[in-house]
Structure 1
Amino acid sequence: MNLFATFKQSIELEQALSELESSYVKADQILVIYMDNEPQQVPLVGRTKDIHSNSFEAGMASATGSAVIGASIGFVLAWGPIIWGLIFVIIGFTIGYCIYYFLKKDKFHTLNPKKEAEILVIIQCTETLAHPIKEILWKYQALTVGQSS
């Protein structure tokens, strides 16, 4: 008879395996299989999924354009092109950062986190040991437990 159980990677899995090995079955009667997750898609080069770095890029682009406008206007105004260019850099960065951040923050927060990998444990045992082994598996928080004859 074979028993099947799935676990998340945790200390409970290690405790269950050590208790099973010490009480009911030998180590060569237990097979542990690490299940792979869906492969992650690689983002485009230079693009991240962090909203703050993307907002910073948008703010810098807006600051650059604003600095040109501010310096151009500064030739006519009292403080000169350098001061007005710096003032417009700060204003442009703030506006660009805030607009991008507030428009995109909902999309970044609704992304599904990556699922944790599960581990499949296959235990070869006799019919008489099936019930106590199942109890140990449930005790240590197995996600699912099944059996085959």
Structure 2
Amino acid sequence: MHIVASFEHSNFLELAISDLEQKGIEKNRICAIPLHKMTKERALFDTLHQADGQSMFDLPAILATIAMTLGVAWGFMWKWGPIIWGLLSFVGGLALGLAIKYLLYKNSLKESFRCNTEVVLIIYCKPDEVETVETVLFNHLAIGIGRKPSEVQ
């Protein structure tokens, strides 16, 4: 049976490994794999083959529509008329929305790279050791635990 657990890279991981060794799990049956963080920055705009679920044009479209409506309404009282003021306020609302969305996107981009799982721990154990291993891992703050029955017993 294989037990797979994810941990943050901390002292709890080291304590879990030493506790497993004290409970009779040999070192050669424990495998800890550190995960590398993604260093490539995500693209600002989505492509056909890759999307991150964040839209860059929702807020700009809303602000452009509101600004255009107000520009047309007030344009009747101003010198250039409603069409020019509607177009100018549309462009201004679109630019303001894009600027706000860009700032929000850059701030969320920094937070989205924070990953909780940094180390994956794989333990090969006998069926009678499964409960002990899972208890030890949960006691040492494992983020998640999964089981995989091994093909060869």
Shorter-chain TM range is 0.5 to 0.7
1: CA distance, partners of 2:31 / 2:136:
16
C-alpha displacement of 1:110: 4.2
Residue equivalent to 2:114:
115
Shift of 1:38: 1.8
Q: After TM superposition, give the deviation of residue 2 of structure 1 in Å.
A: 0.8
Inter-partner Cα distance in structure 1 for 2:146 and 2:33: 15
CA-atom RMSD, angstroms?
Answer: 2.4
In 1, distance between residues paired with 2:11 and 2:26?
20
Q: Answer whether contact 1:134 1:145 (CA < 8 A) is retained.
A: yes
User: How many residues are matched?
Assistant: 89
Larger Rg: 1
Q: TM-score, normalised by structure 2?
A: 0.51
Report the equivalent of 2:141. Answer: 141
CA deviation string 1:66-85 (max 9, x = no partner):
xxxxxxxxxxxxxxxxxxxx
Mapped partners of 1:29, 1:109: distance in 2? 42
List runs of 5+ in structure 2 lacking aligned partners: 42-99
Contact 1:15 1:140 in 2 (8 A): yes
* 1:24 and 1:133 in contact (8 A); partners too: no
Aligned: 1:3 with 2:40:
no
Matching residue of 2:25:
25
**2:38 maps to which residue?**
38
